[in-house]
Chain A
């Protein structure tokens, strides 16, 4: 979501920059008594004089504006996972944090090394590490616990004990 927001922000920023300069240039060109450069304002002028507020094409334009606005607000308010997870108990006054994506990747690697687990992914958000693991076994009894213990141990090694809770779910091989 952060990347999408950044791409859309960059596109909008570019549109504002280019649009602003174009409008200023069109004003200047009109002042010099010339026709238009890029923005066909005589046509727009004709449209807003010839159509009423109730014109279907104008209503559709307004609907698109509202939809665009809702999309932008939703994008602005969307939940983003933190970039870092702050550590505790390293015994230093310096603020220390671990990059969230690297933590997820490292925990996933670690959980994947538990005997019986073939593949594991970890998502860290709101103080919870959700481990989704797959096993080659048909019976995965006890594997949830083993994965949880392994991940909890790692979190403790990295100063995150008590700061991140672990929830593991291991799915069995299909029969």
Chain B
């Protein structure tokens, strides 16, 4: 979610600056701000038309390629918007020896971790995802906790019980963790 927001901010600023630059240039030229570029010329001058006609094949091929690239960027940007709040689990690839590698399904391990945490007192729900470098993944844990729960105890148990178990299960030396607590109000509302 934070990554999507960052990408959106950057792309919106870039597109905005492009529009301001283009519109600003058009307006300035329309008000005769450039001595060498008179305002009373047609928007598409005969010189430009002649140049395009001279490079007809290459010019329109370049336009088509540029348009397809823009379309591709649009699709990538759109896909980013449709990503869920929690990214999908990434399986862990292990190189056992020179002959091959094993793929560890991290989704099952993450689900087991979430199931365990959700049974603790004060916890209403939990979800987990394993992401990042297969040798040093990060586990994102989201825990819905009752407002009157003992937060410190839940955090301590995640750190001292749940994460070491997951580390052992995945045979990892190092496992970084990000824990997000979501306080559920007494009425049981799932606050967003």
- Residues of A in contact with B (beta carbons under 8 Å apart): 2, 5-6, 8-10, 12-24, 27-28, 30-31, 45, 47-55, 58-59, 61-66, 68-77, 80, 83-84, 87, 90-99, 101-103, 105-106, 109-110, 157-159
Indicate the size class of the contact surface on chain B.
35 or more
Number of A-B contacts (CB under 8 A): 247
| Bound-state Cα–Cα, A163 to B39, Å | 59
Q: Which residues of B1-38 have CB atoms within 8 Å of chain A's CB atoms?
A: 1-2, 4-5, 8-13, 15-24, 26-27, 29-32, 37
26 example contacts (A-B, Cβ-Cβ < 8 A) are as follows A9-B11, A16-B71, A18-B71, A22-B67, A23-B64, A24-B71, A27-B67, A54-B40, A62-B24, A66-B20, A66-B24, A72-B13, A77-B9, A83-B1, A92-B158, A93-B159, A99-B181, A99-B183, A99-B191, A101-B192, A102-B183, A103-B183, A106-B191, A157-B151, A158-B151, A159-B155
B72 CB, nearest partner CB in chain A, Å = 7
A41 CB, nearest partner CB in chain B, Å = 11
Asked if B42 and A66 sit within 8 Å, CB to CB, the answer is: no
- Other than the given A69-B19, A77-B13, 17 more pairs (CB < 8 A) read A6-B8, A20-B70, A24-B67, A27-B64, A28-B64, A53-B30, A73-B12, A75-B12, A76-B8, A76-B11, A90-B156, A94-B158, A94-B178, A95-B179, A98-B182, A101-B192, A158-B181
Asked if B39 and A98 sit within 8 Å, CB to CB, the answer is: no
B175 CB, nearest partner CB in chain A, Å = 10
Q: A interface, by DSSP: helix, strand, loop or mixed?
A: helix
Asked if A16 and B158 sit within 8 Å, CB to CB, the answer is: no
Ranked nearest first, the 9 interchain pairs of A and B with the lowest CB-CB distance are: A20-B71, A16-B74, A69-B19, A72-B16, A65-B23, A17-B74, A73-B16, A69-B20, A76-B12
Contacts of A71 in B (CB 8 A): 16
Residue of A51, A69, A101 contacting most chain B CB atoms (<10 Å): A69
